[in-house]
Chains A and B, each alone.
Chain A
Amino acid sequence: MKKSDSSKIASVPGKLADRGGLLTGVAKQVSEDTGVPAAEVYGVGSFFHLLSRSDAKVRVCQGLSCWMAGSDEVLSQALDLGLPAEGCSCLAACDQPVAVLRDRLVLPSVGSREIKQSGGDWKKLTSDFLNEEGVWFGHVDSFDDSGQNLAVHLHGNMDFSGEAYQRALELSSDDIIAELETSGLQGRGGAGFPAARKWRSLCDQDKQTCYVVLNADEGEPGTFKDREIIMRRPDKVLEGLAIAALAVGAKEVYCYLRGEFELPIKILKNAIDEFERNDCFPGLSFHIHEGHGAYICGEETALLEALEGKRGLPRLKPPFPTEVGLWGKPTLIHNVETIACVPAIIRSGGNWFRDLGITGAGTKIYCISGHVNKPGVYEMPLGITLDELVEKAGGYVGELKAFSPGGASSGFLPASERSRPLDWKSLGEVGSSLGSAGVVVLNKNVSIRDATRETMVFFENESCGQCAPCRIGTRYQRESLDRYISSKEASDLSLVEDIAWEMEQGSICGLGHTASVPLLSARKWFPEAFE
């Protein structure tokens, strides 16, 4: 890890992918090619599921929404038909269940008909949702058809004029950051950290080199907004990145997209070309890096490790990436949605953005899936309630029983919380979180216990394995629940609170801190499911 040339290491995952994944002998070839020790190459390859199990060409999403839509059945049908299939973690297409990954392309709405039509040949597996160019989009809407009061405006037209960037060029770094501060923009990736504080931290440092990184490793079950933002408004994303780079003084921007985003990657690349044709951002370089199947790389320091070509193990914090980031340099790292809000803030002002929200600043892009009529991505004022969101999404299917407001790590809330504003503070008050605003609606037909088990399997599969509280804890919790399910003895769950405490206190990163939330919240709000 210490001896090898950093740029050589960075190329390791890509070279493994080019050779078809971690097949026997490939680690040695990549080692000879890069000078990185073969064992280290193997360690990297074995970390990422798209590399370590590259023979699975069909991966059926086991995320909560797809599971509720029957992904178990789709998977067993695929296996019966002899497809090289396996289950996988959320594919960020919860609005179009069941999502299936064919090689690196996410196919929406795959059911038994599509599986049968493939005739057992994975290359022939397809979806009616793909258009003639093999592209698909999800459903999007907002509270404002005119788009005047939308920060991202998903149904607007792409704009490659770079107008907001031109405006930013007229401002000093301090002015740009002051505007951002006024806007009250909070990070949209999950933690809700004030964006301006990160920018300010970079500007305050005496530095030669710094980087801007886009976190597009969207993988939180229930969340698919970044996919839709990149598919529809890559212009906003890139312009936001360019403004950020301008403000903090970066010349290089790294975009890390999950490897399952074959279509968004293509669209983002085209958008970069488009801006380059107009020479909109002179002196700025964009680099695209594909992930290879690991939820944990959405954690910002794990993402940096993966960008550097290593196993995606989260780093100890502090120091935070704003001080010690990519290749040890100060790094500004933002979620797709956060950065996509920036151009509108620069163009229309921080006050305009702040006033868009109800209980917090700005509009918020909510994903909604599960038992609603029109699952999709909705740009709404921050702080609307579940009922308001679902009204926009065509109403409930069946009777509301529970909902998960912000991805798997936000746990479950009962129907009685339906009028609670969907923002960081209000949800935090009941031990939940807005997270990535991936709202999943569960009706009365869903077993909370089984839904909980699904999310626990997810965390167990996606723990990086670095620290014991999370590595052992996630498995322990899932095995405890399994013991309970077969025995119905409450004593089988007697240790879960203790272990949850330890995971929250002792883990290195947010995955371990929150992995027990689904189980704890389900037991708290739905005790009858565990009696």
Chain B
Amino acid sequence: MIDNNNIALLDGIEVDINGNETILESALKLGKNIPTLCDDSRLDPNGCCRMCLVEISGWPRMAPACATKISSGMEIVTENERISRHRKTLISLYLSDHPENADELETGAPNELLSFANEYGVSNGWPHLKSRRYERPDDPNPFINFQADKCILCARCVRYCDEVEGVSAITLAGRGSDTTIATADNISLLESTCELCGGCIDVCPTGAMGEKMPFLAEALPERALTKVRTTCNYCGVGCQMDLNVDPDGNDGRGKVVKVTSPPAGTTTNDGNLCVKGRFAYDFIDHKERIVSPLIRGVDGLLHEASWSEAIDRASKGLLNVREKRGNDALGFISSSRCTGEENFLVQKLARAVFKTNNVHQCAAT
């Protein structure tokens, strides 16, 4: 036993007890990664996936590191023969309830279960379970797809929808080995309270919740894509997001085939995105996208122009109106996609240059 009141031992290393940390958090500070599947820093600990079980001396059973607070006098072991046997057998069980065909194991997002299987040297060799779970196959929503076979029921999606988004569109339904993820009465997500933020996809560790986006049909798995960090320009919040680029797409120029959120805790949006940020990227390579300024000519048609020509033309037009009709004949409306700084500049333009207070922003209604 340890004498000091404020000390615990984690794999033999002394840990100061300061408040409310879980074993998982304390271990992470020591650089120890205890494997987890159901844990997410944004969610209350659930302890259901059983990957993170550790031994605590004096406790008859192994305890989930994610849900157990470290307290003084605890002697914790995170790696030994028993724990290793447990993890390997557990992974084998998970794999036996996972797609049998290796090609289906990871078609999109990285499958964390598969990563652990590789790390622990567990192959997918056990006979597979016969019974299937219900997965709402006819849901017409355009964005989110659920494959029950890949679901390990960690309930991250359900808890995220509930605890982070406050939307509660999905639930654990049924019980026992038939348990699945469902909506009320299995209605489409479109009829439910779902806001299609896609957070369920982001938190899913196995890709059971996935995108329906058409670009993904022929894309490489996410691990083979290049991530390009950028700021979402749909509104001024400034969410960080990763454009997932298929380097071979667009004849080698690269093609954005997916948007993912950076890991929770790394950016201001804490891993969250909204429906626009996560799914509305198909404009990027859209054939109708306007990629240069256009000026309407005397022939009534739009003609490609340079930026300086376009700005010159716009300023002449505005000055012309002011001269003929006065300052207040002009009004300025900026876009909700502008940042605060850009909105400031728009009102500066209105007030200082064109001497009018007619200025507004589309999101300010």
Q: Chain A interface (Cβ within 8 Å of chain B)?
A: 1-3, 24-25, 27-28, 31, 37-43, 46-47, 52, 294, 296, 311, 316, 460-469, 471-476, 479-480, 483, 495, 498-499, 501-502, 505-508
Chain B residues closer than 8 Å to A502, beta-carbon distance: 86, 89-90, 93
Contact, CB under 8 Å: B184 / A42: yes
Task: Report the minimal beta-carbon distance from B34 to chain A, rounded to whole angstroms.
Answer: 15
Given contacts A2-B163, A25-B185, A42-B185, contact A465 B177 (CB under 8 A): yes
Contact, CB under 8 Å: A475 / B179: no
Contact, CB under 8 Å: B179 / A39: no
Contact, CB under 8 Å: A506 / B126: no
Chain B residues closer than 8 Å to A28, beta-carbon distance: 184-185
Secondary structure of the A contact surface, majority rule: helix
Partner of B53, one of A42, A499, A501, A506: A506
Chain B residues closer than 8 Å to A24, beta-carbon distance: 185
Chain B residues closer than 8 Å to A498, beta-carbon distance: 89
Given contacts A39-B169, A316-B47, A499-B89, contact A476 B96 (CB under 8 A): yes
| Assembly CA distance A46 to B176 (angstroms) | 11
Q: Write the chain B residue with the least CB distance to A36.
A: B168
Contact, CB under 8 Å: A472 / B82: no
Contact, CB under 8 Å: B47 / A508: yes
Closest 7 CB pairs of A and B: A43-B171, A465-B179, A37-B168, A38-B184, A42-B184, A502-B89, A475-B177
Stretch at the interface among B127-135, B289-297, B357-365: B127-135
Q: Write the chain A residue with the least CB distance to B83.
A: A505
Chain B residues closer than 8 Å to A507, beta-carbon distance: 50
CB of B94 within 8 Å of the partner chain? yes
Partner of B175, one of A39, A41, A46: A46
| Assembly CA distance A461 to B176 (angstroms) | 6
| Assembly CA distance A38 to B178 (angstroms) | 20
Contact, CB under 8 Å: B93 / A472: yes
Task: Report the minimal beta-carbon distance from B282 to chain A, rounded to whole angstroms.
Answer: 29
Chain A residues closer than 8 Å to B178, beta-carbon distance: 465
Q: Which of B49, B82, B172 has the most CB of A within 10 A?
A: B172
Chain B positions 128 through 148: 1 when the CB is less than 8 Å from some CB of chain A, otherwise 0: 011100000000000000000
Cross-chain pairs A/B with CB under 8 angstroms, 16 sampled: A1-B163, A3-B162, A37-B193, A38-B192, A42-B184, A460-B177, A463-B176, A465-B153, A465-B177, A468-B90, A471-B176, A475-B177, A479-B131, A499-B93, A505-B86, A506-B53
Q: Which of B82, B85, B185 has the most CB of A within 10 A?
A: B185
Chain A residues closer than 8 Å to B62, beta-carbon distance: 505-506
CB of B174 within 8 Å of the partner chain? yes
Chain A residues closer than 8 Å to B93, beta-carbon distance: 468-469, 472-473, 476, 499, 502
Given contacts A472-B97, A508-B47, contact A479 B129 (CB under 8 A): yes
Contact, CB under 8 Å: A469 / B50: yes
Q: Which of B153, B168, B175, B178 has the most CB of A within 10 A?
A: B175
Chain B residues closer than 8 Å to A495, beta-carbon distance: 126
Contact, CB under 8 Å: A464 / B152: no
Chain B residues closer than 8 Å to A471, beta-carbon distance: 153, 176-177, 179
CB of B173 within 8 Å of the partner chain? yes
Contact, CB under 8 Å: A506 / B175: no
CB of B67 within 8 Å of the partner chain? yes
Chain B residues closer than 8 Å to A40, beta-carbon distance: 162, 168, 171
Partner of B182, one of A31, A42, A461, A505: A42
Contact, CB under 8 Å: B48 / A467: yes
Chain A residues closer than 8 Å to B205, beta-carbon distance: none
| Assembly CA distance A46 to B173 (angstroms) | 6
Cβ < 8 Å to A, chain B residues 153-188: 153, 162-163, 166, 168-179, 182-185
CB of B198 within 8 Å of the partner chain? no
Question: A39-B182, A46-B174, A508-B47 are known contacts; what are 4 more A-B pairs with Cβ within 8 Å?
Answer: A39-B169, A47-B173, A294-B175, A460-B176
| Assembly CA distance A509 to B193 (angstroms) | 33
| Assembly CA distance A28 to B198 (angstroms) | 23
Contact, CB under 8 Å: A464 / B185: no
| Assembly CA distance A39 to B191 (angstroms) | 12
Chain A residues closer than 8 Å to B185, beta-carbon distance: 24-25, 27-28, 38, 42
Chain A residues closer than 8 Å to B47, beta-carbon distance: 316, 508
